[in-house]
């Protein structure tokens, strides 16, 4: 029963909404972003370039052999560094890595992937229209999650899964109360978008944008 209590508490807190008054932006200068889920992990998907920021100035294209200036979106995920490095496929996941990521505060990493074109909306890829002001707050949240050296993000060389993604050193420790889904949810909250009070599971993030 004691073991179940944290899980039940997390489930209950995940259905409590915040920023309930949020409505998708409709003005011409609104920005389309996406939230995505693979059933376990969620990401924030942003345009490569807007009046607020050109991400190519911080995430250099020359670090991505398969990406070029025609790519229009960029994905950001935050997670356990060891989990990211050692599980390029779910079949690579070991019990030791899973338990370590879930219960022991550990170093984190940012996963960044260039995406060629806008995503097709479906239950796993949900678009959100935000105002420029909301977008700037989201950008600031993502930016603050990266470690920097001399004002530059710190690339973890040779660890990307493909020619269009890479990993960067991140701030803060990863563990269950602050996992990848809570990081995405935190970005939504920071930008004033509808989110869950607590979101350790993907559905808690995605359910607000059905």
Each residue's pLDDT tens digit, 100-149: 555 667 899 999 999 999 999 999 999 999 999 999 999 999 999 999 99
Partners of residue 121 on adjacent β-strands = none
Residue 57 confidence (pLDDT) above 70: yes
Q: Which pLDDT band holds residue 175 (cuts at 50, 70, 90)?
A: confident
In contact, 100 and 169? CB cutoff 8 Å: no
In contact, 56 and 48? CB cutoff 8 Å: yes
* DSSP category for residue 67: -
Q: Which pLDDT band holds residue 83 (cuts at 50, 70, 90)?
A: confident
Copy the structure tokens of residue 128: 């959100």
Residue 1 confidence (pLDDT) above 60: no
158 conformational bin, left if phi > 0, alpha if psi -120 to 50, beta if neither: left
Q: Which pLDDT band holds residue 84 (cuts at 50, 70, 90)?
A: confident
Q: Where are the domains of the chain?
A: 4-209
The confidence score (pLDDT) of residue 90 equals 60
The confidence score (pLDDT) of residue 8 equals 63
Residue 185 confidence (pLDDT) above 70: yes
- 177 compared with 142, residue with greater pLDDT: 142
Copy the structure tokens of residue 160: 């990307």
Mean pLDDT of 35-49: 96
Residue 3 confidence (pLDDT) above 60: no
Distance CA 133, CA 74 (A): 19
Q: What is the pTM of this model?
A: 0.90
b/e map 167-199, b = 16+ CB within 10 Å? bbbbeeebbeebbbbbbbbbbbbbbbbbbbebb
Distance CA 149, CA 42 (A): 27
């Amino acid at each position: 029963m004691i073991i179940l209590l944290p899980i039940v508490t997390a489930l209950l807190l995940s259905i409590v909404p915040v920023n309930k008054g949020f409505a998708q932006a409709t003005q011409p200068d609104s920005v389309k972003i996406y939230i995505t889920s693979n059933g376990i992990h969620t990401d924030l998907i942003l345009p490569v370039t807007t009046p607020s920021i050109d991400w190519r100035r911080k995430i250099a294209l020359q670090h991505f052999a398969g990406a070029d200036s025609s790519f229009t979106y960029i994905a950001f995920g935050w997670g356990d560094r060891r989990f990211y490095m050692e599980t390029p496929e779910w079949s690579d996941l070991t019990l030791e890595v899973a338990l370590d990521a879930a219960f022991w505060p550990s170093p984190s990493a940012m996963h960044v992937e260039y995406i060629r074109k806008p995503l097709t909306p479906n239950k796993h890829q949900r678009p959100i229209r935000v105002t420029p002001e909301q977008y700037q707050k989201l950008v600031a949240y993502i930016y603050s999650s990266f470690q920097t050296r001399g004002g530059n993000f710190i690339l973890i060389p040779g660890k990307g899964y493909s020619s269009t993604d890479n990993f960067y050193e991140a701030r803060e420790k990863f563990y269950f109360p602050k996992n990848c889904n809570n990081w995405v949810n935190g970005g939504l909250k920071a930008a004033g978008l509808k989110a869950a009070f607590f979101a350790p599971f993907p559905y808690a993030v995605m359910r607000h944008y059905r």
